[in-house]
Amino acid sequence: QQEGPSGTMFSYSTKLTNNSGENQTYSLSAEGAPEGWNVTFTPSDAGNATSSVPVDAGATSSITVAVTPSQNVTAGEYPLTLTANCAGENLELPVIVKITGSYGLAAATPTGNLSVKAFAGETQDAILSIQNTGNIDLTNVSLKAQASTDWKVTFDQDEISDIPAGESKEVTAHITPAKDAILGDYAVIVTASNDVASSNCDLRVSVQNHTGWGVVAIVIIVALVFGLGYVIRKFGRR
């Protein structure tokens, strides 16, 4: 039995002996390998992996078997059977691959865009994606935020009860800048964590003016200019 985290390539040194009185060519395979796993057989006297190997009568061939699990494999024990078959002989070698647990979280947005537009004193929503990047289910993942003074950040759920291995859950953050926030960019750091994993998502919140108020301001300024010009012309003639 060999063990390791997902992404590990497990290597087994095996020997295949031809006990028959004739030269044989053995077909090599692995039974019980889950979908997405890769199993290769490389004889010591060959540079490349192969699915068959010739062995002379009474001789022994050393073969390295490499087992590479899929990236999204979950923790646990996986029994495999290595087989070598020829016309008159069927040989089997049982092995066990044990995938140990790995924990991981990734907090981001579904689109990868970390920029948020907002207005002072008004709530703006941001969708977050919390992904379990490990191979063990995660439970009780809490969400917290750090923001500027007088800002308010809440979530539609403060805690995610469970995130299965390799899957994601979406959460909505409600971001309210301070009423007196001036125009500019601000950082809001969202942290997703439990007792074994954590991840930060750094949002850039851009506080802007309402376009409508900008137009009103321009109209008022233009009106004042024309009004002042009228006053100057009227009283300047006196």
- Distance separating alpha carbons of residues 71 and 8, to the nearest angstrom: 9
Average pLDDT (43-65) is 94
Number of domains composing the chain = 2
130 & 206 share domain: yes
User: Is there a domain that residue 86 lies in?
Assistant: yes
Two tokens at 214? 């900008």
User: Is there a domain that residue 218 lies in?
Assistant: no
Per-residue model confidence (pLDDT) at position 225? 65
- Domain finish residue from 48, 83, 99: 99
pTM: 0.63
pLDDT band at 118 (very low <50, low <70, confident <90, very high): very high
User: Is there a domain that residue 221 lies in?
Assistant: no
- Domain finish residue from 99, 131, 158: 99
112 & 72 share domain: no
160 & 122 share domain: yes
- Domain finish residue from 50, 72, 99: 99
The boundaries of the domain holding residue 56 are 2-99
| Neighbouring-strand partners of residue 62 | 15
53 & 133 share domain: no
Q: What is the pLDDT of residues 137-175, one digit of tens each?
A: 999 999 999 999 999 999 999 999 999 998 999 999 999
User: Is there a domain that residue 48 lies in?
Assistant: yes
204 & 141 share domain: yes
**Which of the pair, 90 or 46, is modelled with greater confidence?**
90
95 & 142 share domain: no
User: Is there a domain that residue 135 lies in?
Assistant: yes
Indicate which CATH number applies to the domain containing 11: 2.60.40.10
75 & 161 share domain: no
113 & 207 share domain: yes
pLDDT of 116 over the 80 cut: yes
Print burial letters for 33-64: b (CB count within 10 Å at least 16), e (below 16).
beeebebbbbbeeeeebeeebebeeeeebebe
pLDDT of 236 over the 70 cut: no
- Distance separating alpha carbons of residues 84 and 189, to the nearest angstrom: 56
Per mean pLDDT, which range of 47-51, 72-76, 196-200, 212-216 is the poorest? 212-216
User: Is there a domain that residue 196 lies in?
Assistant: yes
Q: What is the 3-state secondary structure (H, E, C) of the chain?
A: CEEECCCCCEEEEEEEECCCCCCEEEEEEEECCCCCCEEEEEECCCCCCECEEEECCCCEEEEEEEEECCCCCCCEEEEEEEEEEECCEEEEEEEEEEECCCCCEEEECCCCCCEEEEECCCCEEEEEEEEECCCCCEEEEEEEEECCCCCEEEECCCEEEEECCCCEEEEEEEEECCCCCCCEEEEEEEEEECCCCEEEEEEEEEEECCHHHHHHHHHHHHHHHHHHHHHHHHHHCC
User: Is there a domain that residue 69 lies in?
Assistant: yes
135 & 157 share domain: yes
- Does the CA dihedral 40-44-46-47 come out positive or negative? positive
- Distance separating alpha carbons of residues 111 and 129, to the nearest angstrom: 9
User: Is there a domain that residue 67 lies in?
Assistant: yes
pLDDT band at 210 (very low <50, low <70, confident <90, very high): confident
Q: What is the pLDDT of residues 128-143, one digit of tens each?
A: 999 999 889 999 999 9
pLDDT band at 238 (very low <50, low <70, confident <90, very high): low
9 & 38 share domain: yes
6 & 92 share domain: yes
> If phi over 0 gives left and psi between -120 and 50 gives alpha, with beta otherwise, what is residue 213?
alpha
Per-residue model confidence (pLDDT) at position 164? 94
